[in-house]
Chains A and B, each alone.
Chain A
Amino acid sequence: MAIGVCRLDLTELAVLRGHAADLPAVARSGGVALPPTGRVAVSASALVLSVRPERWLLLTSPAAAGAGAAAWSERCAGLAAVIDHSSGLAALHLAGPSAREALARGCRLDLAMDAFPPGHAAATSMAQVATILAALPSGLLILTPASTARHLHEWLMGAARPFGLAPLAEITVSTFFGHNDP
């Protein structure tokens, strides 16, 4: 299996009271669709996932500091709080047939393909660290707080070793854009 480090920007949209119905249209104007809680949606320029009710994480290619969040802030003014997590969360990508088996060494969720198929997303903790998992056709994307990213990465390397580990690669998140859910 292969563990890749992803460079990406993350912007969170959190709906203000009474505006849940308005946000999807605004999101569409920004080129993304908002999936329901527990799901990932892919558009031409972003992955959007939701693991908290009425909150979405937009994953886009890296830009200047805060630029993505600033654009969304303008778009969503009065409808949603917009929070930049680009530096707050680190992203790893796991590919290969053993990835889910390796993750079962620390993940308490059922990651079997039928229980967590591509298109699903979940927040949980793994190796004592907060994580957000997204199942993509290419593998699993893991978001984790920047301060514990090294801990999680070290842990993942250890868990993956018995399954064979490909050299570390840097992956751009745009690789995943445009691949629709199966």
Chain B
Amino acid sequence: MPGPARIGRGLLTDGDRPVGFRFDGRELTALAGDTLASALLANGRRLVGRSFKYHRPRGVVTAGPGEPCALVDVIGSAGREPNQLATTLVLREGLVAESQNRWPSLSVDALAINDLLSRFLPAGFYYKTFMSPGWAWERLYEPLIRRAAGLGRLVAPAVEHPAPAETVHDHADVLVVGAGVAGLAAAHRLGACGLKVLLADQDVTLGAGALLEARAIAWREQMAAALARLPTVRWLPSTTVLGAYGHGVFGALETLSPEAEARFGGLRERLRVIRAKRVILATGAPERLIAFPGNDVPGVMLAGAALGYLRRYGVAVGTRPALFVNNDEAYEALFALHGAGVRPAGVIDPRPQSLAMERARSLGVEVHAGAVVASVAGRRAVRGVSVANVGGGHRATLRADCLLMSGGHTPSTALAAQLGAPLKWQEAIAAFTADLAPAVGSVAGAARGVFGLAAAARDGDAAARAIATDLGRAVNSAIAIDLPADPAATPLAELWEVSAPGKAFVDLQNDVTTADVRLAYREGYEHLDHMKRYTTHGMATDQGRTGGLTGAAVLAKARGVPVSRVGALKPRPFAQPVPFAALAGGEVGEHFKPKRRLPLHDWHEAAGATFVRAGLWLRPLVYSGSSGWEPVLAEARAVRSAVGITDVSTLGKIDVQGPDAAKFLDFVYANTFSTLAVGRARYGLMLREDGLVFDDGTTARLAPEHFLVTTTTVNSVAVLEHLEFHLQTVCRELDVLVTDVGDHWAQFAVAGPRSREVLERVVTGVPLSNEAFPFMAAGAATIAGVAGRLFRISFSGELAYEVAVPARHALEVWSALIAAGKPLGIRPYGLDALNTLRIEKGHVTGAELNGNTTADDLGMGRMLKASGDHIGRSLARRAGLLAPDRLQLVGVRPVDATRRLRNGTQLVAASARSTSLGYVTSSTPSAELPGWVGLALVAGGRARIGERLLGVSPVHAETTDIEVVSPHHADAGNTRVRA
């Protein structure tokens, strides 16, 4: 049996499989099935960490997920992972762990001087101290505090690819949280009724309390076997329900076993999103500490933890344990250790008498009734305890090497509280419980204060029966789930703290003492939430599970009110700290958001395109790998001088059909569409109801009752929703159907003076002369043999066509266009060149359609229809939207053509340099004119055309003389598009 403290067989350990691990550089051996905590205890290691503030030596306190002290850094392929709970970390061969928050070593910690300074470091010390001299907080104190912050150290791994992660969606009739006796009984009953059950438990095994009491072992095994036979019950081991989110939704974290981890390619945890019609919260009642001086010395731990280490791992946490408890349940640890041959040092119990005390006496154990522990001898390990009478006065000194404490059990009410359940104070157990509304589910077993294994099982069964009936299932009363009867027990006596000199902790991780709580009260922080914030009580990784209520009780005492009046802290998710990786799931890094790819993505890639991420889309920016403007201008010049082709398939395309289609478009657009002839297209401007511009695009009338609306790439989703929303509300009486056809159509712009020649070589069935197919013509056409559509529209300002074909034919049509254009000098152009061309032409995009501009601001005020209702009509007429000093669209150019423009440059008058008159929205070196051209929004800008302003970009240390010009830098007469 590896480890000197291993005294027997554990239920979870495999005595035939030793496992080697390393702690603080020491090679140690334990057994398969051990946790790091049980492995350290088996090896006689008591000291496992240092506390947060005072750097006091700390040991293992619990045997489960509520552990406040035994936190370690684990070093492995995932880097250095801080704050791992030794009490739940299942040991694996070769595990490397290090204690944390100590320097230079665990046994000699330089910062332990904080403990001696603690008279000057009470709770809330930040707010009142560290203030003088004035500069010192930021330059001296704060850096010092920050360096001392935190417990563990996070070091990222040196791997390139993120570890696998996944989120699984689950559905059940009933979620049973907790696989202790109540949960087991409930799951069994529900499964027997044919209900779909998820049984989630944070432990690696079924049973919880049943594991700990010998008389329940057989029952547990029967139950486990029965559950395995029920096809609708699924047990999720090592799964913590993190939070209850309402509407039957729960989040849970499943930690994978080594076998499952291997199968899922190294997956360590998975997040489960569980949806259930009802929930049974059988979450148990963790044991709580008692605040007495020295209750943090390594070797002081919860009594139930000692029982757990013995039963689960065969480890005796000491050779001479003392027991300091106020309830009969906690004596089980003593009886079990005694039964395993460990001789207890004695029992200290504040109650005058109890049944368990009698039994201890009958075993020959020294019992101090009506007594408390006044102090603990030893610093890095318990050496003895000093026993005092309840009313004061020294009674005895016990030689002991560990002290098992229990201040009672505090039902886990977090999930119930998150579901809105009010908390009720239960005098008998000195704790709060909560009940759920029947439509939500119920709380069962110790979680609602029902102690005793048989009683809890009956309670779980009753809860399950009620839910099964509620869900319309017949309940078979023949199923028996009875356990051996619970032994009689004497009720607990409330005991929260022992008043005696020395630090008595209520929050072991955050180093909050009873004195801190009283200080907070004296300073005026008497609300529980204020005390928590002032002292940080309950805010550590264990969320106050062992001492939260104890701290509240100390505050209650200071205030002179019952604990029930002080209340409880609002328990927020998560029930257990969750790694970012597990919450994030698999859609991270490259897959953080879906990538929308063009139908010709592969072609663009092969052609050497640099892609830009535009929302979800990947779009060719320029067909060159090199940066700089030259390749962009070469593409743009091809369009200006000959012909170019660009992929505009990202534009939103919405099919609008129905008898009222024209009427509908008249309402959603600020300009008129009912007058548009079939076979024609028109530029349209959509406003929001507040009168500002929402989106623009070209809409074509394909048939009397059939339109195709195009939207900007970035607004395609929003415009579709906007149309659908209005069709189902304000326009409900209209007979119109709108359908997204964005992905169906690949669309290419062929632009440039020679574009007609290109089209003439591939388009059949449509004469392309200027007369037959003039500017803004639209219609069906056959392109390279593919049935598609042709539009004579232009964003570049050149003679241009847009070709639309079903995306599966994109490559053949695109290739045919390029082949046809080759003799004419066609070249593909990307988004950058497109942008250059449209800026030269004075066309707007998102930089100008920025949600704060009106149609008039953009120079399109005359487009608004004179009569008839449309979205945004009324509020567009507000005074503020008509003011003459509004920012209006203009063109800008540097006076010195060798200077560049920069987007975001502010424009000011030379005489008032701190007053912004506007800013540059878009800019580019021109393909047509010498130097740079840009667009800007300038206060009263149209009236300033011809003026000079200063362009200032202080973040680039640039100042440029700017000339305000018309936004139409190229072809102001608009003759090319009509050529």
Contacts and interface: CB of A to CB of B under 8 A. Distances in A.
Contacts of B744: 84-88, 146
Interface stretch (B165-173, B208-216, B312-320, B465-473): B165-173
A162 interface: yes
A146 B599 contact: yes
Contact of A104 (B168, B264, B807): B168
B806 A84 contact: yes
Nearest to A14: B737
Interface string A81-103: 10111111100000000000000
B806 A105 contact: no
Contacts of A129: 594
A138 interface: no
B169 A127 contact: no
Nearest to B782: A65
A71 B659 CA distance: 21
A66 B806 contact: yes
Nearest to B810: A87
Given A85-B741, A87-B743, A88-B741, A148 B788 contact: no
A115 B171 contact: yes
B14 interface: no
A129 B599 CA distance: 17
Given A66-B806, A87-B744, A104-B170, A81 B586 contact: no
A151 B595 contact: yes
Contacts of A14: 657, 737, 739
Contact of B807 (A16, A88, A106): A88
Contact of B743 (A105, A110, A145, A151): A145
A145 to B, nearest CB: 5
Given A81-B657, A128-B593, A151-B595, A158 B742 contact: no
A71 B658 CA distance: 18
A177 interface: no
Interface in B241-257: none
Contact of A16 (B167, B595, B735): B735
Contacts of B587: 127-128, 155
A150 interface: yes
B739 A17 contact: no
A147 interface: yes
A64 interface: yes
B595 A148 contact: yes
Interface string B780-815: 000000111000000000000000011111000000
A162 B742 contact: no
A154 interface: yes
A112 interface: yes
Interface residues of B, number: 48
Contact of B742 (A88, A115, A150, A152): A88
Contacts of B740: 88
B169 A150 contact: no
B171 to A, nearest CB: 4
B139 interface: no
B807 A150 contact: no
Contacts of B273: 108
Contacts of A152: 594
A160 to B, nearest CB: 12
Contacts of A147: 596-599, 617, 742-743
Interface string B481-500: 00000000000000000000
Nearest to A12: B739
Which among A88, A110, A112 has the highest number of chain B CB atoms within 10 Å?
A88
B591 interface: yes
Contact of A105 (B166, B597, B746): B166
Contacts of A65: 786-788, 805-806, 808-809
Interface string B165-186: 0111111000000000000000
Contacts of A165: none
Contacts of A112: 171, 196
Contacts of A84: 741, 744, 806
Which among A83, A152, A159 has the highest number of chain B CB atoms within 10 Å?
A83
A107 interface: yes
Contacts of A127: 587, 594
Interface in B732-772: 735, 737, 739-746
A146 B787 contact: no
Contact of A86 (B594, B598, B659, B808): B808
B891 to A, nearest CB: 35
Nearest to A82: B657
A145 B805 CA distance: 16
A179 interface: no
A17 B171 contact: no
Contacts of A162: 263-265, 267
Nearest to B813: A65
Which among A147, A150, A161 has the highest number of chain B CB atoms within 10 Å?
A147
A87 B745 contact: yes
Contact of B655 (A66, A83, A104, A146): A83
Given A16-B737, A112-B171, A161-B265, A154 B591 contact: yes
Given A81-B655, A147-B596, 6 more contacts: A14-B657, A83-B655, A105-B168, A147-B742, A148-B594, A162-B267
Report, nearest first, the 4 A-B pairs whose CB atoms are least far apart.
Answer: A88-B744, A87-B807, A110-B171, A81-B657
15 contacts: A17-B658, A65-B806, A83-B655, A83-B739, A87-B806, A87-B807, A87-B808, A88-B741, A88-B743, A88-B744, A104-B170, A106-B167, A106-B169, A148-B596, A161-B265
